[in-house]
Amino acid sequence: MMMLLCHEVRAGESALRYAMQPNVVRDASIAEPPAILLAKIWQDGQDPSNYWVSEKLDGVRAVWDGHELRFRSGHTVAAPAWFIHGLPAEPLDGELWLGHGRFDELSAIVRKAVPRNEAWRQVHYMVFELPGALGSFTQRVAKIQSVVKQAGVPWLQAVPQYRVGSQVELMARYKEVLAAGGEGLMLHRADAIYHAGRSDDLLKLKPALDAEAVVVGYRPGKGRYAGMVGALLVENSTGQRFGIGSGLDDATRKNPPAVGTTISYRYQHLTNKGVPRFPRYWRVRAEGL
């Protein structure tokens, strides 16, 4: 299959050749991805008063096991020694974050194999969970605040959590976050014990759905895109393969993400066959390199 997919772009220009080579597939020998809690989609009609609510940060997910900071892919985060030494013994789950609209800048910082101190001084580790901790999420919220306070370093912060009493109040908060440049909201069930995996205990509310897929090949461009990539051929976590052409700028079409790269895309909804409808390229997942 790989040979067929690569053959499709044979007429492309040399800018694509490196990305077509089989040896760019990501090394499978990296550490196993950490087991983390993943969100489902918020559905209208649910009672938000049963949940803690927080802003969905557009950052890079990072898990601290008490010794090492890792991306969700399993790769180690090459953070400065002072950043790591300031973290507590307790396992943490959160987002590396710079601020609204600064994901690309953050991605460039955390991807570097040799960290730059001046750049990392801007980065915050925003904690929203304590992996493996006992008790309900309400109890863990209090413990997160205590752990962060005891650490006493400015780059470690607890993601603010609050409660709402109704759907009307939830949507008002949602609109405030979007107006400020935020992505949306996360809702974590107050009585939930900690466990990994995708669950109704954690829900996300945002304007567009997003997901991840692995690049498995390319379709050649036509017309003004001749000699460039017309669409990325990708495979998602359920094994569905489809093309993504929308959202690709000229620079990405000339130098597309390599085969084996994990990308993020946005879409409207899933078809009856489980295929994303109107998928649109978003970005390369920073920790997927």
Q: CA torsion sign, 280 to 281 to 285 to 289?
A: positive
Residue 56 annotated as catalytic: yes
> What single-letter amino acid sits at 246?
S
Alpha-carbon torsion angle 211, 104, 115, 251, nearest 10 = 100
Angle at 135 between CA 130 and CA 141, to 5 degrees: 50
d(CA 63, CA 129): 10
Residue 69 to residue 125: CA distance in whole angstroms:
10
Catalytic member of 56, 143, 149, 175: 56
Amino acid at 197: G
Task: Answer for the pair 280, 247: CB distance below 8 angstroms, yes or no.
Answer: yes
Residue 101: CB atoms within 10 Å: 10
- The 3-state DSSP class for residue 133 equals coil
Q: E strands, the chain, where? A: 37-41, 51-55, 60-64, 69-71, 92-97, 124-129, 156-158, 185-189, 197-205, 209-220, 229-236, 241-244, 262-267, 269-270, 276-277, 280-284
Per-residue tokens: 41: 């989609």
Q: How many residues does the chain have?
A: 289
- Neighbouring C-beta atoms of residue 288, cutoff 10 Å: 19
| Cα–Cα distance, 252 to 2 (Å, whole number) | 21
What residues are labeled active site? 56
